């Protein structure tokens, strides 16, 4: 049974990510997935810092800093001084960054519509509930490395 869940979950994630990547490429959005995730985090959490984004994404701060520098160079985010801590800066999306994320959001909505075609509202609610329980199980009781 667990192999079936494992394989199904793996195939679902792979198929979703692949379709999303194809859609992003078709729209000529020239950003790696990690850059998009960081940009989303900055939009979702106002007054984010490099450290807070690294913690929320569970990634190395140096790696996040490289992504942030590239997003600044691409004029998708801007940094402003943090008046509470001179060692950090607040991150915010630029108008261009918000426009890119709006395109990505629309693409995600389209991919999800295709993925969930022929599923009832009841089935989608059941899936969301089951996935939430699984996430909570893994979050509260992580396996040891």
Counting Cβ atoms within 10 Å, is residue 85 exposed (0-12), middle (13-18) or buried (19+)?
exposed
Specify whether 42 is located in the same domain as 82: yes
Q: Which of 2-6, 47-51, 97-101 has the lowest mean pLDDT?
A: 2-6
More confident residue, 72 or 144: 72
Q: State whether 82 and 113 are in the same domain.
A: no
Indicate whether 10 and 40 sit together in one domain.
no
Same structural domain, 66 and 38: yes
Does residue 108 share a domain with residue 89? no
Do 59 and 85 fall within a single domain? Answer: yes
The pLDDT tens digits for 44-91 are: 998 899 999 999 998 999 999 999 999 999 999 999 998 888 888 999
Q: Supply 37's token pair.
A: 């995730």
Q: Which residue range(s) make up the domain with 124?
A: 1-30+95-145
109 near 129, Cβ under 8 Å? no
Kindly state whether residues 141 and 116 are assigned to the same domain: yes
pLDDT score at 48: 93
Same-domain check for residues 77 and 47: yes
Q: Which of 51, 69, 93 is the last residue of a domain?
A: 93
Question: Domain count of the chain?
Answer: 2
* Helix spans in the chain (H): 2-26, 33-44, 50-57, 61-73, 95-115, 121-140
Q: Once rounded to an integer, what is the mean pLDDT over residues 12-23?
A: 93
In terms of domains, do 129 and 115 share one?
yes
């Amino acid at each position: 049974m667990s192999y079936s869940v494992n394989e199904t979950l793996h195939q679902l994630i792979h198929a979703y990510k692949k379709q999303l990547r194809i859609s992003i490429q078709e729209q000529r959005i020239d950003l790696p997935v990690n850059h998009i995730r960081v940009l989303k985090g900055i939009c979702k959490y106002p007054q984010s810092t490099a450290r807070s984004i690294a913690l929320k994404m569970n990634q190395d701060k140096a790696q996040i800093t490289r992504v942030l520098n590239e997003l600044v160079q691409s004029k998708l985010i801007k940094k402003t001084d943090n008046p509470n801590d001179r060692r950090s800066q607040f991150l915010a999306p630029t108008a261009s960054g918000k426009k890119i994320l709006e395109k990505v959001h629309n693409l995600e909505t389209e991919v999800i519509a295709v993925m969930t075609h022929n599923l009832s509202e009841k089935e989608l609610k059941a899936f969301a509930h089951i996935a939430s329980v699984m996430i909570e199980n893994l979050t509260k009781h992580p396996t040891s490395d």
